[in-house]
């Protein structure tokens, strides 16, 4: 049985994906950038960058990874975080 959620706007999809990504990435993770939001027939695909730290105060031990989040029928259905870190200059 499909359970519809209450995500009805692009902003709500971005917010829900950010929360779901941070929850999956760990307690010291934060979404740093949303790089793409694409609407489709039954929801949104949201892509961005999540930053993972071992400690809040330690900026030197930080990894940034790409993530993809799928919202279907008003609910987050999947979050995928790439396994390779992204190098930023």
Beta sheet of 29-40, edge-to-edge order: 29-40, 43-53, 62-72, 75-81
1 has a pLDDT exceeding 60:
no
Q: What pLDDT, in 10s, does the model give residues 64-85?
A: 999 999 999 999 999 999 987 6
Lowest mean pLDDT among 15-19, 27-31, 50-54: 50-54
Which SS3 state, helix, strand or coil, does residue 17 take?
helix
Q: What is the mean pLDDT of the chain?
A: 88
Backbone angles phi, psi at 16, to 5 degrees: -65, -40
Which SS3 state, helix, strand or coil, does residue 46 take?
strand
- pTM equals 0.85
């Amino acid at each position: 049985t499909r359970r519809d959620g209450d995500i009805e706007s692009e902003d709500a999809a971005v917010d829900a994906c950010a929360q779901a990504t941070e929850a999956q990435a760990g307690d010291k993770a934060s979404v740093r950038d949303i790089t793409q939001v694409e609407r489709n027939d039954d929801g949104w695909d949201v892509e961005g960058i999540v930053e993972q730290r071992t400690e809040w105060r330690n900026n030197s031990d930080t990894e940034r990874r790409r993530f993809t989040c799928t919202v279907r029928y008003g609910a987050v259905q999947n979050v995928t975080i790439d396994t390779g870190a992204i190098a930023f200059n």
